[in-house]
Each structure stands twice: as structure tokens, then as C-alpha cells.
Amino acid sequence: MQAKANPASVAAAVPVPGVTAEIVTFHPPMRPAVERLRDGAGKLAAALLPPVIVLGLTILIWQVLCSSPGASLPAPTKVIADSWDLIADPFYDNGGVDKGIFWHLAKSLSRVAIGFSLAAVVGVALGVLVGQSLWAMRGLDPIFQVLRTIPPLAWLPLSLAGFRDAQPSALFVIFITSIWPIIINTSVGVRNIPQDYRNVAAVIRLSWWEVFWKITLPASVPYIFTGLRIGIGLSWLAIVAAEMLIGGVGIGFFIWDAWNSSRISDIIVALVYIGIVGFLLDRLIAFAGKLVSHGVSAQ
Amino acid sequence: MNRSYLKFEQVGMSFHRGKTATEVLRDVDLSIAQGEFVSLIGHSGCGKSTLLNILGGLLTSTKGEVFLDGDVVDHPGPDRAIVFQNHSLLPWLTVYGNVAIAVDKVFGASKSKSERHDWVMHNLELVQMAQARDRRPHEISGGMKQRVGIARALAMQPKVLLMDEPFGALDALTRAHLQDSVMEIHARLGNTVMMITHDVDEAVLLSDRVVMMTNGPSATIGEVLRIGLPRPRRRLELATDPEYARCRAAVLEFLYARHRVPARAAA
């Protein structure tokens, strides 16, 4: 029979002698710098060349198609010639809505930032509720499934009627557009938390609040960020449409204004900017998700 | 010494699904002394894990009671720390964090911050994982993960350490290495241990007693074999030891002659 375990003797125990460490870091031999540089350049070329070639070809075809005198859309060279002031100086500000494209984008981004942040907070909270409570899921899920199919702009008249002001209405449209994927993905993440993690929490007797902060949230981070990524994409889609209707400064209004003034080239420049900003937003959320998930991946 | 530090009394377990009830365990009686290492062996589906989960408090028995150190077991708790088969480390925490989350919760009131840090490091050293403290679970091998799982359980200073097929998912060499580590730790700390295993050699090598379960449904304890081999035990010397061979044969005889897998018995 073994000796009785008492805390003092346990604490006094020392590591087992004669056992070597298990972790060995291997340093692969360094190859010559020139060779590594050439390899790196080769990889870079392999990644960059195809998109550059395809882009070049697309612009070339566009140029050829729109070069005839009767073309309804401007060719790339004409776009650059017409809208050079927009491309060259995105920061000018002549007062009113006559601003550089940077200011329009900044205004739209600030609306997205506010509406999307609200959606993220409320969406994650509702998602956790729906994921944890069977009753809440049965009650709320059917409503969510119907509401999430409503197109963003269909909410605009109702929110204008409710808020009686264009600004909060635009924010509400962003909010209501981006919240559904956040709720749904968060709830799936919470439901999919492995029983093992719950068992660990039960054995060390974490309180409900500790389980929420230390287990539920970190375990569902990959799902939450999937929802946030879809959500930010949708809000960027919705803001352009909403701003066309509410007016004022904003990239959506800029496009609508350009159309009304028949500045087709300006529209094309704005579309390129919108695409690039949307892409950057998506990458930003993906990067943030990678930072906080610490190698936890969705199963 | 207290012969019934841990005591199962007439423990039975039935699962109800609709109108049909399945009796998994029936009339399990078992007393385990403090410091004893007991293995639970039996074919798949014999209710070993159910029995361990009842002791762990993750399941509640439908009949009978479990007593640990005089108290009725009716909820999970750190006095019955569990080493899970699939290690169950939290992937977003480092090796250190996985042990610290348990230590901070269990000793948050009784130990200072620096004492808790020392206690985490002490337990990581015990399983030779102190060097890997800043790694995350996906960066270390299966054997190392299980070491951290053991450190986390030991760090709770449990009255009884529960191990649910702790080495089942590991390759044979890693498994042998970890079995040796568990024997060393048991010799040093004198923990009371209850371990589930499928492996006859593992059961005989590690245990003071091997509890053999009959096949389910309505499984119960078929036989308890005392392993009289002196400690410390060395696997190389035991390979030719007649007492080891006798114990091994007795368990094999129980599992494969008297309580064959139900499907094969029917065929």
C-alpha cells in the first residue's frame, strides 16, 4: 500500500531525475543567401504573375470594346483622362458634397464601423443565448431565419419612418444587415463546443460566468469571426445602396450623384475604390480572427 | 489504513430513452483504499466509462451511492480530477495556461499568486513538460498533450485521480514511456488512482488490483485480481516474472475465455 498523500510531501517533491527533456529544436542548415533570395523571388513571381496578366488582358479587352466612337461606356484611357483629378487627389474638399473620394469613403466607413460594431456586440450576445438555451433557440431561430432573408434596402423605409432621420436609418440598415450571419455563426459555434471542454469546466467547477469567458467565448472564436467576416461584407454591400437613397456625403451618394451628372468615368473610379476597400475590410477581420483564435479552428 | 476510502455501494445505472430502459450497470460494489492503484478492465460497452463518470460526478447513478472520504459523490469536483482519453486540453491556452486555469480556480482563495505559479510549474516539472510551458496544444505531440492532461489533474491535488483510458490514443513506445512516468509519480505522491484500460499488460503493470467487468448490458464486477508484484516494477524484469505471467493469464482468461465479446459468443 502506498503512503498517504499529504499536501506538504506533494509540494516538496522534485522533478524525476535522470529523465531528459523531450523538446528539441532543430535548426535546418542555412542555405546560401543568394539561393534563398532567388527562391523567394520565384515564389513571388508565381503568385503575382497570373493576376497581373489576367488584369492586363481584361483592361486590354475593355479598351478594345469601348474604343469605338459610339460606345456607351468609357474605355480605360478615357476613364483616366476624365477622372484624373479624382484619382490624383482623393483628399480635396470644396465644401458641401464636393469632396475627394477619400472623404466619401471615410464617411461610408464610419457608418459601417458604427452599425457593424453594434451588430457585432448584439449579434454575439444573441448568438450565445441561442446557442446555449434550447428554449431560446426554438423561440428565436424561426424568427431569425425569416428576418435574415429580407433585403437590406427593404428595411430603409421602415427605419426612416421610425427614426425620422437619415443618419440613424443608414446605421440601422447596416446593423440589421450584418447581424444575422453573426448570430447564426456564433450560435453554431457555441452549440459545437466539445463536451470535453464542458467536462473540464465541470471538474474544476467554473462558475457560469467563468465558463462564458474562459470556455464558451474562446471556443467559439473561429465561428464568431466567420460570422463577422460575412457580416462586414454584407454591410459594405448595404451601405452603398442605402447612401444612394439617403444622400449627403458617402460613396453611395457619390456614385448616384455622378450618374445624375453623367460622369460615368467617376463611377468606374468609385467602383474600383469600393472593391479595394471591401477587400481590405474582409482581410482585416480575417487577420483579427487569426490573431485572437490562437490556432483554434472550426471543426 | 482506511480500507474503504472510496466506496461504491450497490451502484446501478439505467439510461431511459422513451419507454425503453437500458440497464448499463447493476450492483457494483467496490472498496478502494487510500493510495491504491486500481484498474478497471473489460470489453467495450461494459460500462467502465459509465462507472468512472459516476465517480467523476459527470453522471448520476440511478441506484446506489458512491462515497469518497466519507462524503457522498453527487457532482463533479476537483477532488476527483479526471485525465481524459483525448487529453481535453483547451487549444487556445498554452501548456502553462491549461494547468493554471485549474490551479487558479481550485487554489484561488488558499494560495497567493506566486504560490500558484510555483505550483503550476512544479506540476509541469513532475511530468517533464516545464520546458514546453509556452507552447499550445497543437504544437506538441499526443504523448506530451497527455502529460499536460496528467499535470492538470495532479495540480488539483485530487483525493482520487481518475484516468479514462489515458494512453489509449498513443503509440506503443510513447505509451510505455507514460506508464513509467505514471508509476514514478504514483510511487512519489501516493495518489489513489482509478484507471480504465483495454490493455491487459498496462493493467497488470500499473495496478495494485485489477477489477474485471462482465459484459453489458447489466454489467457488474466479475472478479477482482490482486497484483502482488513488489514495487518499483520494471517492465523488462517483469517480462520473465512468473507472478506477472500468472496475473496476466488470469486477466486474459477472464476476458477471453469466460467473458468473450458478446457478438463472438453468439457466433
Q: How many CA atoms lie within 13 Å of A71's alpha carbon, on the beta-carbon side?
A: 16
What is the distance in angstroms between the Cα of B115 and the nearest Cα belonging to chain A? 11
For residue A214, count CB atoms less than 10 angstroms from its CB and return exposed for 0-12, middle for 13-18, buried for 19 or more: buried
Q: Edge-to-edge strand order for the sheet containing B6-17? A: B20-32, B6-17, B63-68, B71-72
Q: What per-residue confidence (pLDDT) applies to A84?
A: 85
Residue B20: pLDDT band by 50, 70, 90 thresholds? confident
Handedness of CA B78, B80, B83, B85 (dihedral sign): negative
Percent of chain A with pLDDT over 90: 56
**Residue among A13, A21, A296 whose CB faces B92 most closely:** A296
Between these two residues, B150 and B216, which has the higher pLDDT value?
A: B150
The type of residue at B164 is D
Largest CA distance in chain B: 62
pLDDT digits (tens, 9 = 90+) for B71-81: 999 999 999 99
Chain A positions contacting chain B at CB under 8 Å are 1-5, 7, 9-11, 13-16, 19, 21-23, 194, 196-197, 199-200, 202-206, 210, 214-215, 218-219, 221, 293-296
Which residues in B127-205 belong to E strands, given as ranges?
Answer: 160-164, 192-197
Collapse the DSSP code of A277 into the 3-class scheme (helix H, G, I; strand E, B; otherwise coil) and give the result.
helix
Q: What per-residue confidence (pLDDT) applies to A226?
A: 94
Handedness of CA B167, B170, B171, B176 (dihedral sign): negative
Q: What per-residue confidence (pLDDT) applies to A13?
A: 44
> In chain B, where are the structural domains located?
6-79+161-266, 87-157
Closest CA to B91 of A203, A222, A229, A287: A222
| Average confidence (pLDDT) over B215-236 | 88
DSSP per residue over A111-150, as a string? Answer: HHHHHHHHHHHHHHHHHHHHHH-HHHHHHHHHHHHHHTTS
Q: How far apart are CA B159 and CA A81, in angstroms?
A: 81
Percent of chain B with pLDDT over 90: 65
User: Choosing among B75, B90, B98, B161, which should be mutated to test the A contact, i.e. which has the most A CBs within 10 A?
Assistant: B90
Asked if this assembly's ipTM is beyond 0.90, the reply is no
The type of residue at A164 is R
Q: What per-residue confidence (pLDDT) applies to A25?
A: 61
CATH domain A92-298 topology: MetI-like fold (1.10.3720)
Please name the residue that has the C-alpha cell 500500500: A1
What is the distance in angstroms between the Cα of B128 and the nearest Cα belonging to chain A? 7
Residues listed for chain B: 267
What is the distance in angstroms between the Cα of B90 and the nearest Cα belonging to chain A? 7
DSSP per residue over B239-253, as a string? Answer: TT-HHHHHHHHHHHI
Q: How far apart are CA A158 and CA A154, in angstroms?
A: 8
Average pLDDT, chain B: 90
CA B33 to chain centre: 15
Q: What per-residue confidence (pLDDT) applies to A95?
A: 76
Bridge partner list, B226 = B209
Q: What per-residue confidence (pLDDT) applies to B136?
A: 92
Report the run of H or E that residue A161 belongs to, with start and end: helix A155-163
What is the distance in angstroms between the Cα of B257 and the nearest Cα belonging to chain A? 31
State the 10-residue block means of pLDDT for chain A, 299 residues long. Answer: 43 48 62 78 88 94 88 87 83 80 92 96 94 91 92 91 91 94 95 92 92 91 94 92 87 91 91 94 92 65
The type of residue at A75 is A
Q: By 3-state DSSP, what share of chain B in percent is helix, strand and coil, each rounded to 5?
A: 40, 25, 35
Contact B90, A206 (CB under 8 A): no
Q: How far apart are CA A99 and CA A105, in angstroms?
A: 10
> In chain A, where are the structural domains located?
1-59, 92-298
Q: What per-residue confidence (pLDDT) applies to A90?
A: 82
Range of weakest confidence among A205-209, B18-22, B115-119, B134-138 = B18-22
B6-79+161-266 belongs to which CATH class?
A: alpha beta
Q: What per-residue confidence (pLDDT) applies to A27?
A: 67
Q: Look up the pTM and report it.
A: 0.77
Q: Judging by DSSP bridges, how do beta strands B160-164 and B192-197 pair with one another? A: parallel
Chain B CB contacts of A294 under 8 Å are 91-92, 136
Cell numbers of A128, please?
A: 450565445
Q: By 3-state DSSP, what share of chain A in percent is helix, strand and coil, each rounded to 5?
A: 75, 0, 25
Q: What per-residue confidence (pLDDT) applies to B257?
A: 83
Contact A253, A167 (CB under 8 A): no
User: Choosing among A6, A196, A204, A225, which should be mutated to test the B contact, i.e. which has the most B CBs within 10 A?
Assistant: A204
Q: How many CA atoms lie within 13 Å of B203's alpha carbon, on the beta-carbon side?
A: 27
Percent of chain B with pLDDT over 70: 96
Q: What per-residue confidence (pLDDT) applies to A93?
A: 82
Cell numbers of A17, please?
A: 531525475
**Residue among B93, B105, B128 whose CB faces A16 most closely:** B128
Q: Mark B138-164 as b/e (b = at least 16 C-beta within 10 Å).
A: eebebbbbbbbbbbbbbbbbbbbbbbb
Does residue B221 have a pLDDT over 80? yes
Does residue B196 have a pLDDT over 90? yes
SS (H, E, C) B9-78: EEEEEEEEECCEEEEEEEEEEEEECCCCEEEEECCCCCCHHHHHHHHHCCCCCCEEEEEECCEECCCCCH
Cell numbers of B95, please?
A: 501548456
Q: What per-residue confidence (pLDDT) applies to B145?
A: 93
